[in-house]
Chain A
Amino acid sequence: MNPLAWWRWQALFENRAIFLQGLGQTVLASALALGLALVLGAVFGVMAVSPWRLPRWLNRAYVEFTQNTPLVVQVLFLYLGLPYAGIMMPVLWVGVLGLGIYHGAYVAEVVRAGINSVHRGQLEAAYSQGFNYFGAMRHIILPQAARVVLPPLTNQALALIKNSAVLAMIAGGDLMYYTDSWSSDTLHYGPAYIVAGLLYLVLTLPLAWLTTNLEVRLGRGQRGVA
């Protein structure tokens, strides 16, 4: 019984719709989670540099707790724990929420670093021109920080797609889930995992190249200025 026999590949090709459906769910969950992570990251990232203590404290609590506990435990808690508190969600929401909250903490750190990379004098100059704190953030600081945060953000998008495989643990209907369930039904493990791996690479490699590209280009731009 050759685990990579030709007929096994044929069986996979005939069932390709299952894998494509899983791929679609992976893309959907990742896109929604990325949206949530960006919103959470922007809000908590700005809180990190707030002149008030409470938002700074909330930022630390969120980032430290989220980054120092496993994504698996967070997602399993949302899936298995919350129903005991009377909160039931469709499995896609659980995945999006779990991934979004987890990566939101990383995005918040990226945003914080981006804001800190903009010179302090910019804020003072904006104040002198009559901007208030929120106006200065929105019109002066954040647009400049956006350039710096672009490479690490594409990197986060990449990490999020990889981590979306965690949905398989909660029967999330994503690519990893269907790879696991289809291959344990048919026993065509070899072709299933090779194809799934390649499909993930189709999603992640362009982002990896984009990240490297942006790093090189922005790095060069900064060196030109100096």
Chain B
Amino acid sequence: MAGFTELLLQGMSIVLRAENLRFLLKGVGVTLELSLEVILISFLLGVALGILRYARVPVLATMAATYVEAMRNSPMLLLILAAHFALRLTAWNSGVAGMSLYTSAVLAEVVRGGLNSIDRGQWEAARAQGFRYVQILWHVVLPQALRRMIPPIVSQFITVVKDTAYVWLIGVDELTGRAKIIMGAHAEAVIALFFTIAVVYFIVNYVLSAMARSLERRYWARSF
């Protein structure tokens, strides 16, 4: 264990060099950019898929269900690699596509669950006011459901941030990929680099989950 601590301290002096810190910090930016892109695409796709299933649109609902079950029960890494090698997308696009295929399926279920949690009486009340189907969905049910979806979406965002660590494998230089690059040049800094990126991921995710908790409190209070 003494050797371990020594290695950690010795490695930290390399990690803390200005050029390495700057290099890693850019990786944090890449990680966050990828995460944001994935969660945005997945949210839009997830809302569309979730509504198709909720509204039981013939044929399309079955297709959406098949997509959701196939994607959310597949390993994300398989989807990323398939996008890169089988579909020949660029590294960045494979990361976005593979991660969004999976995440949109998960969010589709979140959306469907959120819509289902809205009382059917809302439909009847809105119809009595002369709203049409699409109007009720858009103006009455969806806004209420979205509010309840915010906590699970933020927690999915945390999962996405963690899963971006997969894409170094296809050559995207996000945080983990950049740490691996420095490891290649400084074997003595391996332990320190793992320690550093673990702390960075931890901080990012801890902030996100703290945000999720406060959002939950706020929206929970308002939805009743």
Q: Please give the residue numbers on chain A whose beta carbons come within 8 Å of chain B beta carbons, in ascending order.
A: 3, 64-65, 67-74, 76-77, 80-81, 84-86, 158, 162-166, 168-169, 176, 179-180, 183-184, 189-190, 192-194, 196-197, 200-201, 204-205, 208
Which residue of chain B is the closest to A207 with respect to CB atoms?
B73
Within the complex, what minimum Cβ distance (angstroms) separates A160 from chain B? Answer: 11
- Known contacts A3-B86, A176-B78, A193-B82; is-contact A204 B194 (Cβ 8 Å): no
- Known contacts A77-B194, A84-B191; is-contact A168 B77 (Cβ 8 Å): yes
Of A70, A164, A169, most buried by chain B (CB within 10 Å of CB) is: A70
Q: Are A70 and B183 in contact (CB under 8 A)?
A: no
By a CB distance below 8 angstroms, the chain B residues around A71 are 162, 165
Mark the stretch among B40-48, B55-63, B133-141, B201-209 that contacts chain A.
B201-209
Q: Are A68 and B202 in contact (CB under 8 A)?
A: yes
By a CB distance below 8 angstroms, the chain A residues around B77 are 165-166, 168-169, 176
Q: Are B165 and A208 in contact (CB under 8 A)?
A: no
Q: Are B158 and A68 in contact (CB under 8 A)?
A: yes
Is B21 engaged at the interface, CB distance under 8 Å to the other chain?
no
Q: Please give the residue numbers on chain B whose beta carbons come within 8 Å of chain A beta carbons, in ascending order.
A: 1, 3-4, 7, 69-70, 73-78, 81-82, 85-86, 158, 162-166, 168-169, 176, 180, 183, 187, 190-191, 194, 197-198, 201-202, 205-206, 209
**Contact for B86 among A64, A189, A204, A208, CB less than 8 A:** A189
By a CB distance below 8 angstroms, the chain A residues around B197 are 73
Q: Are B191 and A200 in contact (CB under 8 A)?
A: no
- Known contacts A68-B209, A193-B85; is-contact A76 B74 (Cβ 8 Å): no
Q: Are A81 and B3 in contact (CB under 8 A)?
A: no
Within the complex, what minimum Cβ distance (angstroms) separates B40 from chain A? Answer: 20
7 contacts between A and B (CB under 8 A): A68-B202, A68-B205, A76-B180, A84-B191, A162-B75, A189-B82, A192-B86
Q: Are B190 and A80 in contact (CB under 8 A)?
A: yes
Q: Are B202 and A69 in contact (CB under 8 A)?
A: yes
Q: Are B73 and A205 in contact (CB under 8 A)?
A: yes
- Known contacts A84-B191, A85-B7, A169-B169; is-contact A68 B74 (Cβ 8 Å): no
Within the complex, what minimum Cβ distance (angstroms) separates B3 from chain A? Answer: 6
**Contact for A81 among B73, B76, B194, B202, CB less than 8 A:** B194
**Contact for B85 among A168, A184, A204, CB less than 8 A:** A184
Which residue of chain A is the closest to B163 with respect to CB atoms?
A70
Q: How far is the CA of A91 from the CA of B7 in the complex (A)?
A: 23
Q: Are B70 and A201 in contact (CB under 8 A)?
A: yes
